Amino acid sequence: MAHKTVLFLCTGNYYRSRFAEYLFNTLAGRQELAWRAESRGLSTAFGRWKVGPMSHHAVDALRTRDIRLPAFVREPLLCCDADLVRSDLVIALKEEEHRPLVQKCFPDHCGRVEFWHVHDIDKAHPEQALGELDGLVRGLVGRLGTEGGARA
């Protein structure tokens, strides 16, 4: 089944973008949209807070929404030019934080990136940030469904 790809970008591909990827894929699958999500990070800088392949805040928030993770959860992935080229829609999750990284690393793609405004854990409690991201992803799924992206 052919599908289009939405690429979610955040700083480390550990928290926000991973939550968005799993949530989007679950919701799009339920609605039989011809879209799939992937996620990548714009930086390889990690602190001592990185434990495991994915933030426990994202994992807990997904479980609360009854979204099951696979037995193997991959490590964070760094974005490369090919990821952007093959994506039909690119969304960076915090404009203030990510626009400079996109401009520096991928200047040819900056004009096609949609920027959202979801704070990282240093500026918003995970429940608040992931709740806001939940609403944005649900809105995106609705938007893509009405734009003719349903049923591949």
Helix H, strand E, coil C: the string for the chain is: CCCEEEEEEECCCCCHHHHHHHHHHHHHHHCCECEEEEEEECCCCCCCCCCCCCCHHHHHHHHHCCCCCCCCCCCCCECCHHHHHCCCEEEECEHHHHHHHHHHHCHHHHHHEEECECCCCCCCCHHHHHHHHHHHHHHHHHHHHHCCCECC
* pLDDT at res. 145: 87
Closest of 29, 97, 27, 94 to residue 62, by C-alpha = 27
Q: How many residues does the chain have?
A: 152
Q: Where are the domains of the chain?
A: 4-146
**4-146: which CATH architecture?**
3-Layer(aba) Sandwich (3.40)
Residue 150 clears pLDDT 60, i.e. is over it: no
Residue 152 clears pLDDT 50, i.e. is over it: no
Residue 47 clears pLDDT 60, i.e. is over it: no
Residue 100 clears pLDDT 60, i.e. is over it: yes
Give strand pairing partners of 38: 7
Q: What is the mean pLDDT of the chain?
A: 90
pTM (predicted TM-score): 0.91
71 pLDDT tier (thresholds 50, 70, 90)? confident
